[in-house]
Copies of this chain bind each other. A is one copy, B any other.
């Protein structure tokens, strides 16, 4: 249950109230969301609910019927939009976030960024810290690649990069625009809290066997820490279907758009693992209502250090963007391109 607190509720009175709840066996969480101070509990007993209802500190009570609360659209009906200067994620426009799986060198990164800029794209994805199944595989350029990120930033790109732990967060905080939390860390609650406290926009990927309720609860860990700028990313789950690397669960899009106010995007590159399926799945994602897609692209996929099979050729980008734009138009939206705002 979410309880909105009165403006005059000061720390002392709130503590008293929380102490009384605790005596009833109910833990409460004090959260600042938008401009409101909220007191949140899991499932208050009748006695605890009465106690809250009768408290002069509580001005509104919301019992949502779902385990996720702050991320629920029942609590916050309007879409959350995330602003990067004049660029908005979660609004009318549909975005294409592109870039290599891992940043391998400055020339390749620059080449891709230049290419993207020609197409009007601004969100560059690319990892410096790669979570790899094998400790013997390429783990990303790491700290030594930070200068490349700065270079891309200077070119005017908005950067999306994965963080694996506190150290990554510290290194990336001043440079990147969106911190990505990968599938393998969706259940790393310590990292979710840490990225919540950092306050930067977060792109949270669905765990590879996570239900959507668990996915929203992972987002709730971030939002409860004071950061509501969370972009949810469907990237496929593990199933018995073996023609793709993962099974892209596009029904997550309309389900999530109903259940939460957070923006929802799709990663068809990891979601299929095969570049020849990426265009169709990108069109489908947008048709289903996604706020964007995140796509891997590489000048020479066959020699990419990771995920070459799923990286698109740069030459295929314009057609993809045209198709996405047409699909977006068919449902009353528009592909965001730099020129589209000028």
Which residues of A approach B to under 8 Å, CB–CB?
27, 29, 40-42, 67, 69, 131-138, 164-167, 184-185, 187-191, 208-209, 211-214, 217, 220-221, 224, 237-244, 247-255, 258, 271-272, 276-277, 279-281, 283-289, 323, 326-327, 329-331
Q: Are A247 and B240 in contact (CB under 8 A)?
A: no
Which are the 8 A-B pairs with shortest beta-carbon distances?
A209-B209, A184-B187, A287-B287, A254-B280, A42-B136, A165-B190, A284-B284, A326-B330
Complex contacts, A188 vs chain B, CB 8 Å: 164, 184-185, 188, 191
**Which one of B40, B239, B277 contacts A237 once the chains associate, using CB atoms below 8 Å?**
B239
Smallest Cβ distance from A232 to chain B, in angstroms? 13
**Which one of B191, B213, B326 contacts A243 once the chains associate, using CB atoms below 8 Å?**
B213
Complex contacts, A191 vs chain B, CB 8 Å: 165, 188
Complex contacts, A135 vs chain B, CB 8 Å: 29, 189, 217, 220-221, 224
**Which one of B136, B189, B209 contacts A240 once the chains associate, using CB atoms below 8 Å?**
B209
**Which one of B67, B164, B251, B258 contacts A134 once the chains associate, using CB atoms below 8 Å?**
B67
Bound-state CA distance A244–B254 (Å) is: 11
Smallest Cβ distance from A70 to chain B, in angstroms? 10
Closest Cβ neighbor of A190 among chain B residues:
B165
**Which one of B41, B276, B281 contacts A250 once the chains associate, using CB atoms below 8 Å?**
B281
Complex contacts, A184 vs chain B, CB 8 Å: 187-189
Bound-state CA distance A214–B184 (Å) is: 12
Smallest Cβ distance from A164 to chain B, in angstroms? 5
30 contacts between A and B (CB under 8 A): A42-B137, A67-B133, A133-B213, A133-B217, A164-B188, A165-B190, A165-B191, A184-B189, A209-B237, A209-B238, A211-B240, A213-B243, A237-B247, A238-B240, A239-B239, A239-B240, A240-B240, A241-B249, A244-B251, A247-B251, A248-B249, A251-B271, A251-B277, A251-B281, A254-B279, A280-B287, A283-B288, A326-B330, A326-B331, A327-B327
Closest Cβ neighbor of A323 among chain B residues:
B331
Q: Are B254 and A247 in contact (CB under 8 A)?
A: no
Q: Are B208 and A209 in contact (CB under 8 A)?
A: yes
Complex contacts, A41 vs chain B, CB 8 Å: 136
Q: Are B136 and A29 in contact (CB under 8 A)?
A: yes
Bound-state CA distance A90–B311 (Å) is: 30
Complex contacts, A211 vs chain B, CB 8 Å: 240-243
Q: Are B212 and A132 in contact (CB under 8 A)?
A: no
Q: Are B284 and A255 in contact (CB under 8 A)?
A: no
Q: Are A276 and B288 in contact (CB under 8 A)?
A: no
Smallest Cβ distance from A32 to chain B, in angstroms? 15
Q: Are B237 and A241 in contact (CB under 8 A)?
A: yes
**Which one of B214, B224, B254 contacts A276 once the chains associate, using CB atoms below 8 Å?**
B254
Bound-state CA distance A253–B241 (Å) is: 13
